[in-house]
Structure 1
Amino acid sequence: MPTHPQTRIGHVHLKVSNLERSIAFYRDIMGLEVTQMYGDQAAFLGAGGYHHHIGLNTWESAGGPRPPRGTTGLYHTAFLYPDRPALARALKRALDAGVELEGAADHGVSEAIYFSDPDGNGIEIYRDRAPEDWPRDAQGNLTMSNARLDLNALLAEA
């Protein structure tokens, strides 16, 4: 039986090595607000008054190393922005903070930029195009792509 069509993925909870550093990243660079602290080992951050989109904890990971490349785990957490100017402002905030970009792509259905948080957890910031603008083949199937995203043109909208 298929999942209900209105089902959405909710929040993500990350193990981090340094709680204060991670709070600073998700608050100051990603623009989330701290909604609750759970002692000195966990924090919850959200946008728009929501209770939390990201949970951060050091329960099993305080002082731990970044996971090595080539191992299993979370590939990235995706942050969906409502429009191109909002995505441009998020990109500018990341670049102004010295975040190193790892990639950027125009997928046809969306525009996406990739980087990592201080613990090596992948981050995608993106905006979707309207579904009626998604590329489709003659049979109506999606034909997503991995084309170059013009970051300068995007930043011009910040």
Structure 2
Amino acid sequence: MTPETQKTSGARIGHVHLKVADLARSVAFYQAALGLEVQQYFGTEAAFLSFDGYHHHLGLNTWHSARGPRPAPNATGLYHTAFLYPDRAALGRALRRAIDAGVRLDGAADHGVSEAVYFSDPDGNGIELYWDRAPQDWPRDKAGQLAMGNAGLDLAALLALA
């Protein structure tokens, strides 16, 4: 594929589906911390949640994981699910909601292309909340390639926008 073909493919990630140990606990967490709304339960073993009435951005199930342990930190698997917000103020509001829900942050960074905060759900699944800067503002090296970084993020300034 050429870069031009990749840019016009139209493909994107549509949703994430996670295995969880306790469906009710996970649904409550994602509702409180992120504001997701349940669109449908599939019996007592799965739930589909979304923002703004979409069929689902996040699926949760206990089909093979009911009462299961958290994965070890050095196990393979999903590193995090990233939730993209339209602008910095929306990210600030999302961060305020998560903190108000009792979330403990694992980290925060200014990556140059985006600003992000990180935490985990009750099953140890990583979560990233972020917003992207405009592509013309992304840092680039002398060859024009992306030059993302991992600088500190001023959380107080971000929260002031909330």
> Which band: TM-score by shorter chain?
over 0.9
Q: For 2:101 and 2:63, locate their aligned partners in 1 and report how far apart those are by CA, in whole Å.
A: 28
The RMSD of aligned alpha carbons is 1.1
Structure 1: gaps spanning 5 or more residues: none
Q: For 1:59 and 1:137, locate their aligned partners in 2 and report how far apart those are by CA, in whole Å.
A: 46
Q: For 1:121 and 1:10, locate their aligned partners in 2 and report how far apart those are by CA, in whole Å.
A: 18
Correspondence for 2:110: 106
Q: Percent identity?
A: 70
Correspondence for 1:139: 143
Q: For 1:145 and 1:69, locate their aligned partners in 2 and report how far apart those are by CA, in whole Å.
A: 24
Q: For 1:128 and 1:147, locate their aligned partners in 2 and report how far apart those are by CA, in whole Å.
A: 15
Structure 2: gaps spanning 5 or more residues: none
Q: Tell whether the 8 Å contact from 2:71 to 2:124 is kept in structure 1 after alignment.
A: yes
Q: For 1:68 and 1:137, locate their aligned partners in 2 and report how far apart those are by CA, in whole Å.
A: 37
Aligned length: 158
Correspondence for 1:74: 78
Correspondence for 2:39: 35
Q: Which amino acid aligns with 1:137?
A: D
- Residue-by-residue CA offset, 1:49-81 (whole Å, 9 max, x unaligned): 210000000111111110011010000000000
TM normalised by structure 1 equals: 0.96
TM normalised by structure 2 equals: 0.94
Runs of 4+ with deviation above 6 angstroms: none
Shift of residue 10 of structure 1? 1.2
Correspondence for 1:55: 59
- Residue-by-residue CA offset, 1:109-146 (whole Å, 9 max, x unaligned): 00000000000000000000011111112221111110
Q: Which amino acid aligns with 1:26?
A: Y
